[in-house]
Amino acid sequence: MSNRTKLFIPAAFFITMLGLLFYGLGRDPSHVPSALVNRPLPEFSKPALLDEMSTVDSSELKGGIFLVNVWATWCPTCVAEHAYLLEMSQHEKNVTFVGVNYKDDVGAARDFLTQRGNPFKYNLVDADGRLGIDLGVAAAPETFLVDATGTIRYRHVGAIDNRVWAQTIEPILAQIQ
Amino acid sequence: MKRAILLPLALCLWLCAMAANAAIEELDFDSPEQEARYHFLIDEMRCPMCLNANLSGSDAPIAADLRAEIHSQILEGKSNAEIIAFMKARYGDFILYRPPLNPATTLLWFGPLVLLALGLFVARRLLRQQRFQPAAPDLSLEEQARLQSLLNDEDSPAS
């Protein structure tokens, strides 16, 4: 290597570091990779939210595509995304929407769904957040896409909106359908 | 007079004690060894919601839930390794404050060492180059004469 080319080594190093740091700057530090993607949906048997006498069992969630949404009435982001989920549940006939009412007041949750509409075919109560821990939930809202084999294919932290649906959920649904 | 000071002081202390009680959960353990393990685990694990707090230092609801989970698993007789595996299966490596050594974290563990080695190598090269460089070029006769006269000037008292 000639001395002239050697002079460019610091510049190349600088530009590489610049690129690396710029890449780091654009990343969302709160985005934590999920340990559950490509793993089966955890098994559970939880009381149904709208019918006290019955339970929802994980064995019922088989053989189709499921969107499992972890929500609560005390969570403002969940309240904000509710209208969009309601709209999408009417649009996407191939996807079964499942609501996990997470550490919530059951009465308030029932009232909420009665007044604002119910996007979920299955509604279950996770009163102590135990199912939340099994799902690796850090805070509501979180949403999981489960394929026909019962495998979690995607986990979304935060609200689902038009942009998230078009950019992330739509392509995954196309892939797993 | 004394009582007038003592009463607010006592109230103050009592309120402080109340606040301290609120922050620390009272937990029962079968043995001091279990309690030590509990504190070890909640110090080693990160709160999944907060970016930089461990389970023991976080007020987030999920941190409280996970502390309770660890507590009950310890009472069930689970080992540290089993509890860590349980948490890792749900929250991934992120739950561990000390990242494990695996292909994805190689850069994290060894990157600084590589950079240090690189820096030492460059510094050595630069120092060596400097040593071989000739000293400042010799002065010409004319320049030496000028230098001498300047030095002489300095020696003589200022006019």
Tell me the per-residue pLDDT of A97-111, one tens digit each, with 9 for 90 and over: 999 999 999 999 999
Q: Do A33 and B92 touch (CB under 8 A)?
A: yes
Burial of A142 (0-12, 13-18, 19+ CB in 10 A): buried
**Pair of tokens at residue A139:** 């805070």
Q: Do A136 and B91 touch (CB under 8 A)?
A: yes
What is the mean predicted confidence (pLDDT) over B26-35? 88
Taking contacts as CB-CB distances below 8 angstroms, the residues of chain A near B66 are 133
Q: Do B91 and A29 touch (CB under 8 A)?
A: no
- Check pLDDT > 60 for residue B34: yes
What ipTM does this complex have? 0.81
Taking contacts as CB-CB distances below 8 angstroms, the residues of chain B near A144 are none
Taking contacts as CB-CB distances below 8 angstroms, the residues of chain B near A33 are 92, 94
- Check pLDDT > 50 for residue B21: no
Nearest chain B residue to A158 by CA distance is B49
- Check pLDDT > 80 for residue B155: no
- Check pLDDT > 70 for residue A67: yes
pTM here is 0.73
Of the ranges A100-104, A126-130, B30-34, B135-139, which one carries the lowest mean pLDDT score? B135-139
* Percentage of residues of chain A with pLDDT beyond 70: 97
Read off the pLDDT band of A50 (50, 70, 90).
very high
Distance from CA of A172 to the nearest CA of B (A): 22
pLDDT top residue among A46 and A27 = A46
Name A95's bridge partners: A65
Query: Across chain B, what does the average pLDDT equal?
Result: 82
Nearest chain B residue to A134 by CA distance is B90
Taking contacts as CB-CB distances below 8 angstroms, the residues of chain A near B49 are 138-139
* Rounded distance between C-alpha atoms, residue A134 and residue A125, angstroms: 14
- Pairs of residues, one from chain A and one from chain B, whose beta carbons lie less than 8 Å apart: 41
In this structure, what DSSP letter does residue A40 have? B
Tens-digit pLDDT profile for residues B106-142: 888 899 999 999 999 989 998 988 877 666 667 788 8
pLDDT top residue among A170 and B26 = A170
Task: Tell how far CA A83 is from the center of its chain.
Answer: 16
**Pair of tokens at residue A66:** 């499921």
A89-103, B10-24, B117-131 — most confident range = A89-103
A137/B contact by beta carbon, under 8 A: yes
- Check pLDDT > 50 for residue B20: no
Contact A36, A134 (CB under 8 A): no
